[in-house]
Structure 1
Amino acid sequence: MKISKKIERAEKENRVWWSFEYFPPRTAQGLQNLLDRIERMRALGPEFIDITWNAGGRTSDLTSELVKTCQGLIGIETCMHLTCTNMPKEKVDNALREAKQHGCRNVLALRGDPPAGKDEWEAVEGGFVHGIDLVRHIRKEYGDYFDIAVPGFPQHVLLPPDELVFEMKCLKDKCDAGVNFIFTQMFYDVDIFFRWVQAVRDAGITVPIVPGIAPIQTWNGFQKATMLAKTVIPQNFLEALEPHKNNDEKVRAIGIQLVAEMCRKILAADLGIKGLHFYTMNLEKATKMLLEELQLVPRVETVKPLPWRQSLTPSRREESTRPIFWANRAKSYLSRTENWDEYPNGRFGDSRSPAYGELDGYGVWLKQTKDEAYKIWGFPSTLADVHALFARFCLGEIPSLPWSDTSPSPETSVIANQLAKLNEIGFLTINSQPAVNGARSDDRIHGWGPSNGFVYQKAYLEFFVSPGLLDALIPHIERDKLITYYVINKRGDLRTNTHSEGPNAVTWGVFPGKEIIQPTIVEAISFMAWKDEAYELGRKWANLYEPDSPSRKVIADLMETSYLVNVVHNDFKDPNAIFVPFMKAAEDYAASQHTAN
């Protein structure tokens, strides 16, 4: 969605919104760490983020990669900076073309700072001279596809009157050329900001103004940033901060109070401004503390428009349904389905496509390195060790498993003890969800989608299990006429008690003014495709250990002999019903083992 539409919607709903800015790191490791941080900070509820563009596009490839990843994998609306500095027209066109391919709908157009090593700005041959030239070019080439933002400088209000008039004319000309909104440079003097906003409106500029807010991280960082931008610092800021300049924690705590008070004044003023844009400096804690101080709580709809992470690339923006099997491996799902014949069709369609289930196109990988795996999972040497490892994951004591890229979801905590028990007795769960009977869509654990709705889901379990324990389970499952299941082995032999080839919706939502949304399903053909990946992940885990080691043997044997099973209990009103057959099966199996011995 365009940022201007987000601003417009927030105004209609009379609510405060916020957004974050990041810059591309210089190293690949830094990029990965930043992506992890952006993904975590997504839970803070930004309406969008923006990614800076270094002078001359020094990190242009990283900017493009960040935009692509944030739009496609993290699923957060992204605004891309674009400068004129050292940017010939061809390079600008390439950047815009890639942004559109990634689904980016928002660009911040800047003239940019002078290139590194130069004091004066100069145009590159074949490039653009002013920011307005870049705005006009984008509008000429792309029409209204992009929302275009430009920077605003509140301290221009301190210029002599004739210079201020000139700056306002330049800003007005940009807006008349097609600008949708203005991001301001950071500031700390709220009175200067108010005077500048009035000057902007007096100049006939009506587009939304988004104030740029810079959390105070450390004294040295604060001094450096304000000196570089020649930012006016109010005397009360200096008096409060300077006595503690050698205590970073104290500076940050005081800075949070000062900046929060400034934000409150902005939001309370009669300016029509309901949004705050945070310059994070790629750091998390100060921004999080500032939001907490302002009591700005993320809307569930912003964080979870669907129960799974939605991709915002063009071919997937309308995607509304996915198989549940890849719930914990979204990147793998996106890679696997990139070339499905069915896209873009807006729904999960006929999975009999010849492109479906192909593994060789991208391979199966573990997120963890060998050293990380050893640190997380240790060296299990018996089945009991493996069972305990899975149980610890369900209880949140370890951060991941080979089948799950992230720690257990918040809703796992609702059934964590039951899951831990299942794993201890030999049902090695790799995916699950509890039954939910009409939770509000803004519920902090189960909620997703638009406000004032209700969400439902059937209890679901997916697990590896030994042949003997499976034989004990199946009779109990089949006695419960409300349970459907699929069982498959490594070779691909499938059995089930369902007589329908169609999908079984296991999650749905009911919202005002919408059809019922059914975003998560179980169905046979995609389960068969997921089976290959599930077993391969186990094999890769085994291969992290030395060839003759007990760890490799126990995991490899487990993958060779176990069945992969998924179970859906269709009575979503009874949260405990799904676990009953498992407990009975465990008792029967234990009794049979005792008799055999």
Structure 2
Amino acid sequence: MTLTLNQLEEARRALDAPLFADLAGDANVSFEFFPPKTEKMNETLWEAVRSLEPLAPRFVSVTYGAGGSTRERTHATVARIVRETSVPAAAHLTCVDASRDEIDEVAREYWAAGVRHIVALRGDPSVAGSAFVAHPQGYASAADLVTGLKKIAPFEISVAAYPETHPEAISSASDLDNLKRKIDAGADRAITQFFFSPEAFFRFRDRARAVGITADIVPGILPVSSVAQTRKIAGVCGTAIPPWMDRLFEGLDAHPGARQLVAATVAAELCRKLYAGGVRDFHFYTLNRAELSYAICHLLGIRPHKQAQEQAA
């Protein structure tokens, strides 16, 4: 990785000064939520949205699963964010278990509801552990989905990227080729799967640039709110959990307060190292909880915007 003189100076400061002293607050953030299944989960989600709204994120996104009920919950959540907050909302959309006509109709409904940003994904098979099989009349890949969305409306489009390679990819090179197809189809940026090593991100970014990918690559950050849940998700998506992290969280399952403090420290340090390497955009997987993401943003120098505070009041 080639660093500019400013980045080298920033790296020196990260080593010599207190890690989070006097950061410029020039980072941009976005947050991901999932649609609630119960009224209690709905309350938790909206508490999180309202807590994070004053930080003026670039956007918040809402995940999407196959099946009618999940699709309706996603649409309802995104539409409410558009109506009731000052934050741009992005809706996830996948290729799973739906025809092109059905997906196109969902996209048109989003546009009509005021949604201008789609996170376009191939999606995971509806049956866990099975191979992805495209719907006979559906989109075969995320790149095809991006192409289709661009024909419907001038959506802003984000796609997924995998610093440690998608678990179904033949190779890291083929995985990068797939990412380039998505960008070439019209995607505006890539958001990465979560990772725990800054070197993994920097190596991936350098490799992406080397094959001609010039779009923004935004690191996805997962604060570890649940160690067991993180291990499960990491196993599915191919993310490596460093041995030191396993050791660090040992014995904390029964101590949620201490676990939160450790989780915030680990994720904030990762973000600080990415910041030292020139990263200024971060996407947080919140799991519908605000505390960890808010704490990390605060450490990165991000403070509530006065206008956003007034609108949230």
Q: Is TM > 0.5 for Structure 1 vs Structure 2?
A: yes
CA contact (8 A) 1:215 1:256 kept: yes
Contact 1:157 1:195 in 2 (8 A): no
Cα drift, residue 226 of structure 1: 2.2
Distance 2:189 2:100 in 1: 24
Q: Which residue of 2 aligns with 1:203?
A: 211
The letter of the residue matching 2:164 is Q
Deviations 1:428-475 (A, max 9, x none): xxxxxxxxxxxxxxxxxxxxxxxxxxxxxxxxxxxxxxxxxxxxxxxx
Structure 2: give runs of 5+ residues left out of the alignment: 1-23
Q: Secondary structure at the match of 2:194?
A: coil
Say if 2:85 is the partner of 1:85.
no
User: Which sits farther off after the overlay, 124-133 or 205-214?
Assistant: 124-133
Distance 1:158 1:64 in 2: 29
* Whole-angstrom distance in 2 between the partners of 1:118 and 1:157: 14
1:56/1:84 contact within 8 Å kept: no
Pair 1:276-2:282 in alignment: yes
1:46 corresponds in structure 2 to 57
Q: Does 1:23 align with 2:34?
A: yes
Select the structure of larger CA radius of gyration: 1
Among candidates 166, 169, 174, match of residue 174 of structure 2: 166
User: Is 1:246 aligned with 2:257?
Assistant: no
CA apart distance, 1:14: 8.8
Match of 1:194 in 2: 202
| Contact 1:219 1:248 survives alignment (8 Å) | no
Q: Tell me which residue corresponds to 1:126.
A: 137
Q: 1 CA distance for matches of 2:189 and 2:201?
A: 16
Residue of 172, 175, 190 corresponding to 2:183: 175
Cα distance in structure 2, aligned partners of 1:234 and 1:117: 25
For the residue of structure 2 that corresponds to 1:26, the secondary structure is coil
Q: Is the 8 A contact 1:57 1:87 kept in 2?
A: no
Map of 1:444-593 to 2, 5 A cutoff?
A: none
Could you say which residue in structure 2 is the equivalent of 1:298?
304
Q: 1:114 corresponds to which residue?
A: 125
Q: Structure 1 48/159 Cα, relative in aligned 2: closer, same or farther at 3 Å?
A: closer
SS of residue matched to 1:115 = coil
Summarize deviations over 1:162-201 as a string: whole Å, max 9, x none.
Answer: 8222221111111111110001011112111111111111
Query: 1:117 offset after TM fit, Å?
Result: 5.3
1:55 corresponds, among 66, 69, 84, to 66
Distance verdict in 2 for CA 1:236–1:159, change over 3 Å: farther
Please tell me the root mean square deviation across aligned C-alpha atoms, in Å: 2.4
From the superposition, tell whether residues 167 and 227 of structure 1 become closer, same or farther in structure 2 (CA, over 3 Å): closer
TM-aligned CA distance change 1:117 to 1:157, over 3 Å: closer
Matched letter for residue 294 of structure 2:
K
| 1:20–1:49 CA contact under 8 A, matched in 2 | yes
State which of 239, 259, 266 in structure 1 corresponds to 2:274.
266
Quick one: percent identity of the two aligned structures? Answer: 29
Q: Tell me the SS of whatever aligns to 1:154.
A: coil
RCO comparison, higher one (Cα < 8 Å, 6+): 2
> Is the partner of 2:79 in helix, strand or coil?
helix
> How far is 1:293 from its partner?
3.2
Structure 2 equivalent of residue 285 of structure 1? 291
Aligned residue type for 1:267: Y
How far, CA to CA, are the matches of 1:159 and 1:76 in structure 2? 34
Q: How much has 1:76 moved relative to structure 2?
A: 1.4
Contact 1:214–1:279, Cα closer than 8 Å, also in 2: yes
TM-score, scaled relative to structure 2: 0.85
Contact (CA 8 Å) 1:55, 1:116: kept in 2 or not?
Answer: no
C-alpha distance in structure 1 between counterparts of 2:217 and 2:149, whole Å: 21
Distance verdict in 2 for CA 1:257–1:278, change over 3 Å:
same
Q: Indicate which of 96, 100, 109 corresponds to 2:107.
A: 96
Amino acid at match of 1:156: T
Contact 1:20 1:280 in 2 (8 A): yes
Q: Does 1:218 align with 2:226?
A: yes
Residue type matched to 2:243 in 1?
A: Q
For normalisation by structure 1, the TM-score amounts to: 0.46
CA distance in 2, matches of 1:58, 1:228: 24
Cα deviation 1:225-274 (Å, max 9, x = unaligned): 3233232112332232224343222222112111111101111104xx31
How far does the alpha carbon of each residue in 1:54-97 deviate from its partner, in whole angstroms, 9 at most, with x for none?
Answer: 13454111111111110111231011100000121222122111
Q: Is the 8 A contact 2:161 2:191 kept in 1?
A: yes
Counterpart in the other structure of 1:155: 164
Assess, with a 3 A threshold, how the Cα gap between structure 1 residues 216 and 86 changes in structure 2: closer, same or farther: same
Distance 1:166 1:150 in 2: 16
Which consecutive residues of structure 1, in runs of 5 or more, have no partner in the other structure? Answer: 1-12, 310-408, 410-597
Check if 1:139 corresponds to 2:145.
Answer: no
Q: CA deviation at 1:157?
A: 9.2
